[in-house]
Structure 1
């Protein structure tokens, strides 16, 4: 809780207040796994009034949202088909509990943007409509600016949850240390894990999963008596191949740990697991989406200074003058650092260089980039809505890209810095 002390104190100052002093709306936002729910749950445990916590993922209609909120506030099912019915029922519940504030918490609030356009403005004005001390708390992974509509919205009080620092992540991950494991030994493993994964992934849930999945491999030679627990160099050499393999599965692995371990070769059946996963990821993408994904991979793993060498046309299609292959140490370092971010204009430049047809820069091409982000094959970095300044990162591994490239008859190795 010390890591969230500032945010917890801010929420307390807004919710743990005397009767009729709660604000109309509070907006908690930040990247996934930054402690929003943890901090809010801690404050609500001290909240003396009525509270309801609902996930907007479950509420595909306004009526269902109203019913779930009223069920938690009143303790029984309440029929509610309209906003006026919801407000009148909310007034009755407030009158039955005088001198008590009401907090309505809506998690995954970005889903409200897919509902009726009048729902969110109505919820933000609940205190005004009901004339009762009702505070709406919205919890979201996106910034408030993305909720704004042309007609405008009432401005809530904003509480930002920043990403955890390296030190904070280390402290949180250390809480999962098995009881029989020495703390210094486990922290040494976490330091290696963060050195590999921190650049491409700062999601706490993903890092915790990776720590649990790889710690057994890290400790294996120690338990076998082959390596001393203090020999960090030999431990690193032992676990390095497994961390490299895990780096390719960040955000793309199956939820099942058994399937992920088969990809690592930890269980029987590992020989076919990789091929099955490649076939699963190599979906029937549109023709130009395949070239866009290949271009994204090239932009993520090729240094920007090599673009002219590979993609400026000289005597036909393909890269120009071939240079000596980079040293093995440099290639290993590039693999460990993971995919790098690139701007949209670089992605499109590579796309137009590798695609055979003359493709006009239409809205269809831009929409296919957005579709690849939705499919979690690309990650969008930054919060701007302007496509021309957006930055992206490829989340697909080389085996999948190679498989996709075969379907469009493209020899992707000719364009990769590590293979030339």
Structure 2
């Protein structure tokens, strides 16, 4: 039984047929881990006995709209031309809403699902509390299922039943991506057939050797590079197809056999690592432009174009002043060994840290091996070391770390949503060029504080 099935089983245990529902429950987990898929599968199994309405709280700008959507759905009232697009009942306040709910049939069971439930914290103070106690106010077998990526403690309410949707593990992601094999390869086949090149028949013959085992080998290599840095399924899907063309291109050209995994890895590794440095940013570079050009044909113009794109993105990014320093500090923490912090950041090593040795850099720099995890304490220590002014440790400062996580510039490795407690471990997801350009905005030389350049 996979994790989706386990979560669906829990939902059915809470909201089973002829069962008394809990007053409310909370479904939570990181973004893009399958929360909506769990709900979709659960509703398919419960459709015969359960009346449901799904609310997207980020689309609700007045409480009256929230109330009317629920009442319309439970009364099977559809807005149309025949009813002049009028709601089932005019609802001006919470009392009207509760009266309309109480008038529903007591022989049925009702479930209100609120996606992006964290937005309800911005509504009137009593709305969240009342939605948690609808059974008490209406006498119905009714419940609210709140869905969010935030930890329950962020809601500041009393305890409720909680269902955690864990991150996808490697096997889950591999299983999901293997279902895309047919679609991806059909697009490749059509592209080869539509091409005007003379040897497309030869390429079609080579294409036949790109079987499911070939695709699975690619997935293993792909996830070995990206899994620690990114668990976002949408982002991984985007990168998967962008990098795949670089993996299979030498097979189509006849340079490498489809079963020669070692040489295929050597061919694709630098493209995967380049993509890792610009993950989440969606900027054009040699790892994310469908690899239309030969990897050896990247000239000075292409390099300048890539750097210009990153620079433009960095300059237009609107972040608070301290958040930019936190972003730089997170990059340094991810790409420097902890044992080098004393040499790079302590005041009594000031002369040494400002002296860049003009030596030839190693081909295997730390920034090329992907980010390493770091603790909140280490992040803040580097932040204070590189910041010239003195600033106190406040909730506002810690909340800016959470903002960087929400913007996907940082990602959790462990201790999700425990930033305030200081137990979380994070990774930086930005690349060197982006960090350098952010540094220029605040007058900070990033390379000067990277161990690769010492």
Question: Which TM-score applies when normalising by structure 1?
Answer: 0.86
Secondary structure of the residue that 2:73 maps to in structure 1? helix
Look up the match of 1:168: 172
Flag the 1:260–1:209 CA change in 2: closer, same or farther, 3 A. Answer: farther
Does the 8 A contact of 2:50 with 2:110 survive in 1?
yes
What's the secondary structure of 1:234's corresponding residue? helix
Change (3 A) 1:359 1:58: same
Q: Could you tell me how far 1:396 is from its partner in structure 2? A: 2.2
User: Is 2:376–2:419's contact at 8 Å kept on the other side of the alignment?
Assistant: no
Name the residue aligned to 2:111.
Answer: 103
Structure 1 alignment gaps of length 5 or more: none
Partner of 2:392: 361
Quote the Cα distance in structure 2 between the aligned partners of 1:55 and 1:248: 34
Shift of 1:353: 2.7
1:310 equivalent to 2:344? Answer yes
Residues 250 and 118 (structure 1 numbering): CA distance in 2 closer, same or farther, change over 3 Å?
Answer: same
> How do 1:67-78 and structure 2 match up within 5 A?
67-76=68-77, 77-78=87-88
TM-score of the superposed pair, with normalisation by structure 2: 0.80
Contact 2:26 2:163 in 1 (8 A): yes
User: Hey, what does 2:99 align to over in structure 1?
Assistant: 88
Following the alignment from structure 1 to structure 2, what is the Cα–Cα distance between the partners of residues 378 and 165?
Answer: 19
Partner of 2:191: none
Residue 298 of structure 1 corresponds to 332
Aligned partner (choices 131, 136, 143) of residue 151 of structure 2: 143
Deviation at 1:191, TM superposition (A): 0.2
Q: What SS is found at the alignment partner of 2:228? A: coil
User: For residues 3 and 431 of structure 2, what CA distance do their matches in structure 1 show?
Assistant: 34
Q: Shift in Å at residue 129 of structure 1?
A: 0.7
What is the aligned partner in structure 1 of residue 223 from structure 2? 194
Cα RMSD (Å) of the superposition? 3.0
**Is the Cα–Cα contact under 8 Å of residues 229 and 411 in structure 2 kept in the other structure?**
no
- 1:183 corresponds in structure 2 to 212
Counterpart Cα distance in 2 of 1:329 and 1:125: 62
Residues 347/43 of structure 1: CA separation in 2 closer, same or farther (3 Å cut): closer
Q: Using the TM superposition, give the Cα deviation of residue 243 of structure 1 relative to its aligned residue in structure 2, in angstroms.
A: 1.0
Cα offsets for 1:186-217 (capped at 9, x unmatched): 10010001000011111222222211222122
The count of corresponding residues between Structure 1 and Structure 2 is: 405
Give the Å deviation of 1:324.
Answer: 11
Structure 2 residue matching 1:57: 3-state secondary structure: helix
Task: Note the C-alpha offset of 1:298.
Answer: 0.9
Following the alignment from structure 1 to structure 2, what is the Cα–Cα distance between the partners of residues 371 and 11? 31
Alignment of 1:14-413 (within 5 A): 14-18=14-18, 21-47=20-46, 48-76=49-77, 77-78=87-88, 79-92=90-103, 94-95=104-105, 99-149=107-157, 153=158, 155-178=159-182, 180=185, 181-253=210-282, 264=289, 266=291, 272-282=305-315, 283=317, 285-314=319-348, 316=350, 319=353, 328=362, 330-331=364-365, 335-336=368-369, 338-355=370-387, 357-361=388-392, 363=394, 365-366=397-398, 368-379=400-411, 382-386=416-420, 388-413=422-447
Give the Å deviation of 1:403: 1.7
CA distances 1:366-419 after superposition (whole Å, capped 9, x unpaired): 555455445443345522252544444323221122123234443322211122
Q: Answer whether contact 2:109 2:142 (CA < 8 A) is retained.
A: yes
Distance 1:295 1:230 in 2: 43
Provide structure 2 residue ranges, at least 5 long, that are not aligned to the other structure.
78-86, 186-209, 294-300
State how far apart, in whole Å, the 2-side matches of 1:288 and 1:14 are: 44
Deviates more, 1:381-390 or 1:238-247: 381-390
Q: Distance in 1 between matches of 2:320 and 2:135?
A: 48
